[in-house]
Chain A
Amino acid sequence: MSTFEDRLWTALVREHGEEMRPQPIETNQRSHRPAILTGTALAGAGLTAAVVLAFTATTSTPPAFAVTDNPDGTVTVTLNDVSAITSLNAELARDGLDAKAVPLTAGCATRGFPHPMPAGTNPSTYTITIVPGDIPSGYTAIVAASENASGQVSLVQGAWPSPGPSCINSTPLLSPDAIAHAKKR
Chain B
Amino acid sequence: MEFSDGHLVEEVMGGSTVAFERLMTRYERLVFKIAFSCSGQYDSALDILQNVFLKVHRKLAGFRTDGDFKNWIAKIAVNESINWKRSQKRFQADALDESMQVASAPVQERQVGDRETWEMVKRSMDTLNPANRAALGLRYLEGMSIRDVAVTLDCSEGTVKSLIFRGLKQMRLNMGTSGKVEP
Asked if A and B bind, the verdict is no
What is the interface of chain A, defined by CB distance below 8 A to chain B? Answer: none
